[in-house]
């Protein structure tokens, strides 16, 4: 009975359903075999609550169509012991803090996985300004901490600038 009451309380609250949700998908056509295919896809979904908390789910680097290598030894088990490149899965949460009517700061975390294994830990920081005309300018800095030693000696990557028109 207690579980039912908590569930009804959560479902009945305005914050549980308010704000906005999104689902998006992209197909990318490449001139070379990027991620083992000339055609790749990405699917993403998220929800922003009234509290300006956003939860995100993304699957990316989905190879679509034929690949140039059917030989399973081509990959040399570089993808955590698997001979086929698997898509990447990202689970994330971000919190936006409104500092003034137009200026805001944000902080969050994205967890990148592949075939159930953690690939990267991605804490992030955002700063933005919303103009009255519906234009927003934001900057995201994300640190990519690799969970395992990367055979290509990848370094943490930062910096992302987005110009968003609402």
On whether the CB atoms of residues 126 and 136 are closer than 8 A, the answer is: no
Domains and CATH numbers, the chain: 19-165 (2.40.160)
Taking residue 81's Cβ as centre, other Cβ atoms within 10 Å add up to: 8
Block means of pLDDT (10 residues each) for the chain, length 166 residues?
40 58 90 74 95 95 69 45 71 97 97 88 95 93 77 51 48
Return the pLDDT at 92.
97
Return the pLDDT at 73.
44
Return the pLDDT at 48.
95
């Amino acid at each position: 009975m207690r579980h039912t009451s908590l569930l009804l309380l959560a479902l009945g609250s305005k914050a549980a359903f308010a704000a906005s949700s999104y689902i998006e998908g992209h197909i990318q056509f490449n001139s070379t075999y990027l991620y083992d295919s000339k055609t790749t896809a990405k699917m993403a979904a998220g929800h922003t609550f009234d509290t300006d908390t956003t939860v995100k789910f993304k699957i990316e680097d989905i190879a679509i169509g034929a690949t140039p290598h059917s030989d399973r030894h081509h990959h040399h088990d570089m993808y955590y012991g698997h001979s086929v490149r698997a898509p990447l899965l990202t689970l994330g949460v971000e919190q936006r803090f409104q500092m003034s009517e137009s200026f805001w700061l944000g902080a969050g975390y994205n967890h990148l996985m592949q075939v159930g294994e953690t690939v990267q830990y991605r804490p992030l920081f955002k700063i933005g300004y919303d103009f009255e005309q519906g234009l927003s300018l934001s900057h995201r800095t994300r640190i990519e901490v690799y969970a395992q030693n990367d055979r290509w000696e990848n370094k943490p990557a930062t910096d992302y600038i987005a110009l968003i028109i609402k």
